[in-house]
Amino acid sequence: MQHASIGRGGTLAGGLDRLGIAAELRQPLVVALAEQVDPRRLPSATGLAAARDPRGRLVSVTLRHQLRSFVRVRFDDPPDTAMTAELHQLPLSPRIESAGGLVTHSVAQALAESPHAARLTSAFADIFQWDVDLLVDPRPGDAVCVIYEVLQRGDLPPDLPRFDKRPDRPGDVLEMGRILAASYHGARAGATAYWVAGASGGPDGGNYFDGTGTPLRKAFLKSPLNYTRISSRFSNARRHPVTRQVIPHHGVDFAAAPGTPVVATADGRVISAGWSGALGRTVRLRHGSEYTTVYGHLQSYARGVRSGAQVRQNQVIGYVGSSGRATGPHVHYTVQHSGRAIDPLRMKNPPVEPLDPAARPDLDAAVRSFGHRLEDLRRSLAAVTAGHSGDPSDETRSGT
């Protein structure tokens, strides 16, 4: 077995030459391999291997340009110049792990000790974005619990060339997989989620549900942006900061840095995108026949956001500004139900796709498999909280 690698600026033909491949076979090999990979865009850590029989005749050439796959060309005896390259996926073995922590100031801090902290925090936020506002809801002592998969390397072919310097032995962890179950137990918010593969309504072949079958995904997000603070809440009588008049403030003002992306809180259609008096640059969206949302004081609109355009939940529709009558950069966000303004922070948020009855056994199996593990993890965190507070009955209010 001979091995070679393609360094920075190297070529596939040059790597084949270092393997001792005969000149008349190199070009057909490049053509065959090009059916599966782009020879001009191979990573600098790409590995090559040539296998020969005891008589020294070429048996196969293998190209490794990814951690998860390789390309192989096999030869007859004698080698045929009309050759075919086949793409092979490497086996991955999932392993279930858990992580958890107590909040002192954020969910990211609570999960910081996990080797997959950044990915876990991002995935956790995506799952609970409809039920927990991770910018304002967390309080010291809240418990964050996660059960998730990690993808580890399975058995490898013995003649496989190396690629890169990352883990490449059976059992080595490549990356974090999917969160299978998670919970947030807090003083101000709480929710539990279980992944159900094949359930309708999810973008990745499944969706998250609580133990009763209610989807975690809701019709509306809790807020239209990553904000720094709520500068003004819903009120029927607020003194306006500019005019000083006491008038209703039928919306919530989310303060954020200029240019922060603003997203649609629900699927809908653009009613208008233009100047709207004191609200400045404003986008209005209609969501079905009952709901309308308004996003005011924008700096600018996202591309394609115009009257009649269809938008999806979490799609960027504009950017934070201070247009119109505003004392600083923020978004004025209004929700109207049947023409009446309602408080976005208190509205009853309906779920979207219900659990398909055919998927109920899968949810029940997930609850049986992971429900007790989440509870055990929560109890262990609560014990830590009690130990720090000196009061065993205080499970959520005490910080660490």
Residue 387: pLDDT over 80: no
How far is 45 from 32, CA to CA, in rounded Å? 20
User: Cβ-count burial of 3 within 10 angstroms (0-12 exposed, 13-18 middle, 19+ buried)?
Assistant: middle
- The whole-number pLDDT of residue 77 equals 64
- The whole-number pLDDT of residue 397 equals 29
- The whole-number pLDDT of residue 400 equals 23
- Taking only Cα atoms into account, the Rg of the chain, rounded to an integer number of angstroms, comes to 28
Topology alike, domains 2-89 and 93-218+356-389? yes
CATH of 229-342, one of 2.70.70.10, 3.40.50.300, 3.30.930.10, 2.10.109.10: 2.70.70.10
- For the stretch 148-160, pLDDT in tens is 999 988 888 888 8
- The whole-number pLDDT of residue 44 equals 83
Residue 329: pLDDT over 90: yes
- The whole-number pLDDT of residue 396 equals 33
Confidence tier at 7 by pLDDT (50, 70, 90): confident
Burial 318-346 (b: 16+ CB within 10 A, else e): bbbbebbbbeebbbbbbbbeeeebbebee
- The whole-number pLDDT of residue 236 equals 59
Residues in the chain: 400
Mean pLDDT taken over the chain: 86
What is the pLDDT averaged over residues 51-59? 85
What architecture is domain 93-218+356-389? Roll (3.10)
Residue 381: pLDDT over 80: yes
Confidence tier at 3 by pLDDT (50, 70, 90): confident
The domain ranges of the chain are 2-89, 93-218+356-389, 229-342
Q: How many CA atoms lie within 13 A of 48 on its CB side?
A: 27
- The whole-number pLDDT of residue 390 equals 46
Q: Indicate the fold that domain 2-89 takes in CATH.
A: Nuclear Transport Factor 2; Chain: A, (3.10.450)
User: Cβ-count burial of 187 within 10 angstroms (0-12 exposed, 13-18 middle, 19+ buried)?
Assistant: middle
What is the pLDDT averaged over residues 212-239? 79
H or E segment at 23?
helix 23-33
How far is 132 from 193, CA to CA, in rounded Å? 12
Tally of CB atoms within 10 A around 265: 27
Q: Strand 252-255 to strand 330-337: parallel, antiparallel, or no bridges (unpaired)?
A: antiparallel
- For the stretch 84-116, pLDDT in tens is 889 999 888 889 999 999 999 999 999 999 999
Closest Cα partner for 267 from 331, 203, 202, 314? 314
Share of the chain above pLDDT 90, in %: 49
Lowest mean pLDDT among 10-24, 71-85, 233-247: 233-247
- The whole-number pLDDT of residue 398 equals 28
Residue 131: pLDDT over 90: no
- For the stretch 182-217, pLDDT in tens is 999 999 889 999 999 876 555 567 899 999 999 998
- The whole-number pLDDT of residue 369 equals 95
Handedness of CA 227, 229, 231, 232 (dihedral sign): positive
Biggest CA–CA distance in the chain, Å, is 95
- The whole-number pLDDT of residue 394 equals 37
